[in-house]
Structure formats: C-alpha cells, structure tokens
Amino acid sequence: MKKTLVLLSVLLAGSLHAAGKIAIDPAQREALDIRVESPQPVVSTWGMPFPAKVVVPNAQLRVVSALRAGLLEALLVAEGEEVVKGQPLAVIQSPQLLEQQRDYLTALTRLELSRAALKRDQQLHDEGIIAERRYLETRANNIQIKTRVEQHRQLLQLAGLGEGDLKILARERRLTSALKIRSPMDAVVLDQLATPGQQVDALEPIYKVGQLSPLWLEIHVPLDKLGTSANGTLVEVDEPEVGGRIITVGRMVHEKDQGILVRAQVDKGAELLRPGQFVQVRIAQAEEAGGFRIPRAALVRSAGKSWVFIAVTDGFSPTQVQMRSEERDHLIISGKLTSGDKLAISGTAALKSAWLENE
C-alpha cells in the first residue's frame, strides 16, 4: 500500500484538476494500468437469481417395461450408458412367451392347410364339381385363420420379437423362453428400476431412458417477481454459463411458496447440465431506455454518490451516474453518458485517490 501511494504521488505530482478534470498523461496511464471501455446501451437486464431444476422434456422420456411376466434373468446396461434404438437392455425368461410362440406356429400350420383346401375347392368350383356355397365357406375359413395368424403375430411383436425373430421362428419352429427387452430410441439410461433375479409382472418398469438435448429448466419465480417474463424471454444459468429461452409461463400459483413455475428450454450447451441438477437462473427483464451496462470495476462511490471516470483529452473527467440495477458481473447505470464515451475499467482506485486529493 505504501509503495502504491508513493507511486501515485510521483506519477500525479503536478497534475492539475481544473473543472473536475484529472490530468493523466499516456505514460502515467500505462504505469497505473488504466484501461478503458465503452458503456453498452441496454434493452434488457438480468434480474435476481431464482432456483431451478434441470429436467428432461416429457417427449424425450421413456419407461422401458417388462412386456411379459417372468424372471428377470439379466440386465445388459447400467445407469449413465448411452443406448441406441433396438439395442437389447434386459433378458426375461417368460413362460407366456412359449405359449404365444406355440399358438403362432399352430396358426401358421392351419393357415397352410387352409390355403391348400381353398386352392382345391376353387379348382373344383371352377370345374362345376362342387357348389359355390362350399367354396365360399372354405374361403371364409381361410380369411378367419389369416386373421388369427396376424393376431398372434402382433402379440409376439408386442412382446418384443422383431421381424427377423418371427421369420426364424416360422422357418426353424424352435421355441425360446428368453425375451429380450429393447431400447425404444437412441437415449441415455437415466435410472435402473429392477435387479437381476427379480420376478417381474407384465408392464413392470425396468429402466428409465431419455434424450438429453434439449433440456428444460423448471424455474420457481415468486409471483411479485415475475415481471415481463413471457414465452421467448432469455434466461441465463449462473453456473455453468449456459442460456435458453422461456417456453411456458405457468398459470397456477403454488400454494407453498406463492410462486409460478416458469419453464425454459436449453438447446445450446445442454450437455453441460445434468437431469435433476439444481441451478440458479436469471431471467431477462425489459429495461427503460437510457441505461448503460458497465463492468463493476468502472464504478466508484464517494460521498454517498456513484461516479465513473470518462476519458477526455489528457486525462479523465469524474461524472456522476445513477445506479439502476445489478447483474452478476455488470452494473446498469444511467447518466450523462453516450455509447461513444470511454470509461476507466481498471486503475479506478488510483484515479479516485488523485481526484479526492486534488479536491
């Protein structure tokens, strides 16, 4: 501190303070590391931070369930793993699957017999050997059996058998009780809801999977702080530094905290967030014209008032300003400024000392 004061005394010795001006030559400015920056006109400001929770959008969530009752033999993936659509996630030993395969193969056999009978009766009908009624009865029976085959086929598809599995079953006539549960989409495993060796019922959940881009921020905003928030309003996360836009402003006031649920969507930078994470979020608020955004270091206080130092010829001029609001790294001020002015954003302590000393 003593060295700094000595340096100031030497550098600023003989400096004049005429009409509020602090005379600083280029050499002194460089020695004191005084840097300048233009104030930025503002249209909106970042308000106070509100708590928010990171969640996966509903349309990007799926619960993977046991499609048939049975013994959960194996889990093939774990929480946090990325999976692709159709990838096996678990294996269930299901007696019901055996019954459905047997019924499907039986229906296929009857369909083959029905086709042969229909072909024979059509030929006999064309030759006038049998009555038309018999031919129509044979054809109706063939249609009925086709419907039954399709019904069993769809049940097996719902159980998790793919087109290739059904072709192999029809060709080789080999039954299996192993039912593979597959991923419904490209996703990340968010939660494991069952354990190997567990007896599961039909539709019992095994995994929860989801796509992690984009993500939602569910922000809890007090009703009296909602301000001009609307769909499309920008939001900013304090840490990590990502942003998004509001997509929904709730209409219901929560009884516990008298707050409104504001939902924002994060597209760019969603990979920096984690579902279930709690963060602090700021919402952009409309600002009256005439305000400027400046770094915090640019403002000094003296005698209960706020000041900035504007660069002028051969020095700086202290200018009084009014504080409007505060952001995380910046301040919003108003006063006799223009966007073309250059404000000191470093070395302001030295400028203030010289100013007060000359005063």
Query: Do 185 and 83 have their domain in common?
Result: yes
Range(s) of the domain holding residue 312? 2-43+289-358
Given a cut of 50, the residues of the chain with pLDDT beneath it are: 1-19
Same domain, 134 and 163: yes
CA angle, 249 then 255 then 261, to 5°: 20
Q: Same domain, yes or no, for 299 and 260?
A: no
Distance CA 273, CA 216 (A): 10
Question: Mutual orientation of helices 132-158 and 95-126 as an angle, nearest 10°?
Answer: 160
Q: What three-state secondary structure class fits 2? A: helix
Check whether residue 132 and residue 76 sit in a common domain.
no
Last residue of a domain, one of 246, 262, 286: 286
Are 193 and 163 members of one domain? Answer: no
CATH number for the domain including 72? 2.40.50.100
Which amino acid appears at position 354 of this protein? A
Do 351 and 221 reside in the same domain of the chain? no
Is residue 80 domain-shared with residue 192, that is, in the same domain? yes
Residues 6+ apart with CB under 8 A from 96: 68, 69, 70, 159, 202
Q: Let me know the angle formed at the C-alpha of 266 by 260 and 268, rounded to the nearest 5 degrees.
A: 160
**Could you say which of 267, 286, 305 is where a domain stops?**
286
CATH (domain of 247): 2.40.30.170
On whether both 159 and 301 belong to a single domain, the answer is no
What is the bridge-based pairing of β-strands 88-93 and 70-75? antiparallel
Last residue of a domain, one of 254, 286, 318: 286
CA angle 200, 205, 211 (to 5 degrees): 150
Q: For residues 41 and 354, is the Cβ–Cβ distance under 8 A?
A: no
Contact indicator for 99, 156 with CB cutoff of 8 Å:
no
What pLDDT, on a 0 to 100 scale, did the predictor assign at position 20? 67
The tokens for 34 are 């005084």
Same-domain check for residues 102 and 72? no
**Predicted pLDDT at 2:** 42
Q: Verify that 279 and 304 share a domain, yes or no.
A: no
Looking up tokens 């952001």, which residue turns up? 327
- Write down the pLDDT at residue 143: 95
pLDDT score of 359: 62
Q: Report d(CA 210, CA 59) in Å as an integer.
A: 9
Pairing relationship of beta strands 36-37 and 343-344 according to DSSP bridges = antiparallel
Same domain for 279 and 253, yes or no, is yes
Distance from C-alpha of 81 to C-alpha of 190, rounded to nearest angstrom: 8
Residues 168 and 117 in one domain: yes
Domain count, the chain: 4
CATH number, domain with residue 334: 2.40.420.20
Read out DSSP for 301-353?
A: EETTEEEEEEEETTEEEEEEEEEEEE-SSEEEEEES--TT--EE-SSHHHHHH
So what's the pLDDT on residue 15? 40
